[in-house]
Structure formats: structure tokens, C-alpha cells
Structure 1
Amino acid sequence: MERVEATSELQSRLSSLSFSSFPGVTSNQCDTSPVESLQNTDLSKSQPQTDDQADMEEIEEDSGQRSEGNEEAPAEPAPGEAGEENNSTGSCQLSTEMKTQMPPLEPPTTWTSATLKELKAKLRTEPDSVVTVYRGDIMTVHVPTVPEAKKVSWEFATDGYDIGFGIYFDWTPVTNRSITVHISESSDDEDEEEELEGPVSNGDVEKGSKTQTSSNLAEILPVYRQDSHLSVFGGSHDFPGEGTYMLKFDNSYSLWRNKTLYYRVYYSA
């Protein structure tokens, strides 16, 4: 009986206890059950946004706006590109028109002669008919057309070694009727190759001389190495119109040898 009474007395004391009996704990803190607290929790609202996250979002927004701006703005051509293209097109058309106005040139009439000694003996008595074309040089004889003639003729020979020879025609209107001679040095990189002495077969292209780039210049005979030390080389060409012949004696391929040239140029009816 005493145990029963002690147990009932203990239960009555426990039931009389409340949360207010413990300091620092209030009954309001336990009004909501743990399940309800979890259900009402909003993580997006409860967790504050950090500064790093905000900076990342701003960078993404800026990059998106820039990419949209680049897509909307088409690339503009650099200044001067359109003008240069139009100028190059116009110059090409002008050059084409000038070339189409030029009539085709007939090939020259050429020959060789064994009278080598006779020609040299004759030209030695004439002034300016014997010249030295130095190594690496090109001698060009400018022969303008004249109203009293219909063709130009030439003959030449050399001592000991061959020489390159070619003919071009300049359609520029004639302003000077005198025959002139011009000497020029070759800037070709192939000048360093030593000349191959001795007979050379006709048809070897002369490397030191190249066709001029002038739109008024036409090629009559490309420059070839001629065995002018073995025989006389001669030829003639009918005037295609008003202009100036350019007879090229080319020694630009020779690294060591100067060439003694005997030549004459004359008009024929």
C-alpha cells in the first residue's frame, strides 16, 4: 500500500510541473511541431544571397547583353577597302582596253650569214658601230618609226662569245626621231650563275631579260642567246604603226665576260 501511495504522489507532482519551471525556456518556442516547421521552411527566403553570387549574375547579364549587341551590329568593312577594290578593277579594265586596241604584231624576218669577217671589217670603219656590252649589262637600242620608211633592219656579230638578243615595240607616240642607246644593269638574282662559254643551241631562253610590264609594250622576238660569234645574225620587221622599236642586246647572264658587239640598224622602204 505504501508503494502505491508513493507512485501516485510522484505522478501528481510530475503533472503539476510546466515549462515555466525551467528558466530560459518558454512555451511559445514549442507551439509549432517539428513537422510543421519543416513544411513551412522556404530555403530561398531563409538563405541570404552572398556577394559572390550577385557578382556572378551581373557578369552573366552583361555578357548576354554584349553578345546580343554583337549579333545585331553587322561588321563594317575597313576604310578604304571598297575604294581599293574599285580602283584595281578600273585599272585592270583600262589595261585590257589598251591591249585590245593594239593590232597583233607579225613575227620578224630573220637570217644568218657566214660573212662574219666582212661585216666586222666594215663596221670598224663606222662610228658607234662597235661597242662593249659589259658583264651584267643590257644595251637597248631605241629605233623610232619614221614616215619615209616602211621597215627596220638590223645585223650584228660578236667576238669570241654569244649574246642575248630580243626585240620589243613601244606603241607610245613618237616624240623624238633619233636613234638612241640605253645601258642598264640587271637586278636578276640569277646573275650569280657563271656563264657557260662555248656554242649554245638556239632556243635557250635568256634568263637575264624579261618582258616589260608596260601596257604599251609588245613583244616581237623574245630574248634568246644567239651564237653571234659564229655567224652574222640579221633580220627586218615591217612597221606595225607609229612607235619605237627596242632592240635588246643582253649580257646580264654573264658574270665574268664583257662582249664586243658589232651592230648596225637601218631603215628600208
Structure 2
Amino acid sequence: MTSQHSSSGSVRTALVVEDERTINDALAQRLVAEGFRVVQAYDGPAAVELAAVKRPDVVLLDVMLPGFDGLEVCRRIQADRPVPVLMLTARDDEADVLVGLGVGADDYLTKPFSMREVVARVAALLRRVDRAAALAEERPGSITVGGLSIDPGTRRTTVAGEPVHLTPTEFDLLLCLAREAGQVLTRDRLLREVWDWGDAWGSASAARTVDSHVKALRSKVGAARIRTVHGVGYALEAIAG
């Protein structure tokens, strides 16, 4: 488990958004036990308001909510400020997952889920946030692969000179592939290096997480840039334009 304190030393805040109170309370209790400060919302409008006021470090967000749904909540939260979002969904349909990733979610879990897995996913998200902050301070040089340019320090990406908006997870995935452009990286390696998951997550759902994010990333940087090696993983290729 990563430390539940920010770089400034303050306790991290988790926003739990779930209209089923028993699930909401169970999530909140477990996160409190893990050292988080927790705020709770039970509908879309309240979630957006709390996110603006409490400035959470991570958001656990159910898709189906009263008022407006979790996708709209995620869209509005991310428009205000970038924050890692773990979507909780009752459906594992790829189209639904891709929509969630498209509006700024970093990861997703399908119900029913174990509290252990929730905690592990949240911890991994926050470790990645810490790692990205440390990398930004180092101000490393940009990486260019074909017409694709990636600046790890500013976390900006351009394709043929045009800016491309990527979610934090999409950026980390692209950066991982770009650092070894042309080389095939296995799903297990991507899970370790991008999602910071250990061997315990080598499951079908974990593989789908990688595949879903790759599909979302392809829609933004161009499908031909990311080559699939079936049964193995993915490689970033240098192409013109």
C-alpha cells in the first residue's frame, strides 16, 4: 500500500460516489481503515459539487447515478481539474468501458468486486500520480516517434504538430510504449509499468484493461501507430504524419 499522504504531508482525500448506500458505506469504511479521509456522494450533482469543494486526490465513481450519470460526473470533474478516477460499473461491455475511458476515467472495476481489489487499484492510481509528479520535476527531454511527440515533463502529446488530449493513463501507456518504440511490450509488463499491478492481477480482466486503454489510445493517436502482436502485447511504430 502506498502512503495515504500527499507530497505536502496532508492526508489524501477519496471521494466515493455510489447511490447504493450499503456499497458506498462499505467502500468508505474500508478506505478510512486504509488511512484516507473520505467524502461521500449519492448522486451526480452532489458528486460534482463535492469534487469542486473538497478537491479529492482520487474518485471512486459508479456509472449509474441519479441526477446525471457517472460519465457526466467524470466529464465535469476532469474539466475542472485532472484527478484519477476509478469507475465502478455493473456492465463489462467494451463500448461502455471505452466511453468511460474517453471522458477521463483512468481505470474501471466491474461489480461485484472485492474490497481488496478496490484498495489495490486505488493505491496503484496514486502511485502513478506520485511517479508522474516526480518525473515532471526532473523535466526529462521529449520523445519523438515518427510524427508523434511526447513530453514527459509537461505531459503533453502532439501528432503531426497538433495537440492531443490524453487521460493520465493513456499518457503513461503511450510513454511506456514510446520509450521502447518498435519493441513488443507484453500485457503483463504494461500492467506492471503503467498500472503498477503485481503478478496477482494477471487475469482476464487485467488483460481487458490493457486492451481497452490501447483501443482508446489508438482512437486519439492513430490506429496504425500501435501494432498488436496477438497473444503477446503491443508495440509503438514510427509512421509518417
TM-score normalised by structure 1 residue count: 0.23
Structure (1/2) with the larger strand percentage: 1
Structure exhibiting the larger radius of gyration computed from Cα positions: 1
Select the structure with the greater relative contact order (CA < 8 A; seq sep ≥ 6).
Answer: 1
TM-score norm. by structure 2 comes to 0.25
Question: If each structure's helix is expressed as a fraction of its own residues, which one has the higher value?
Answer: 2
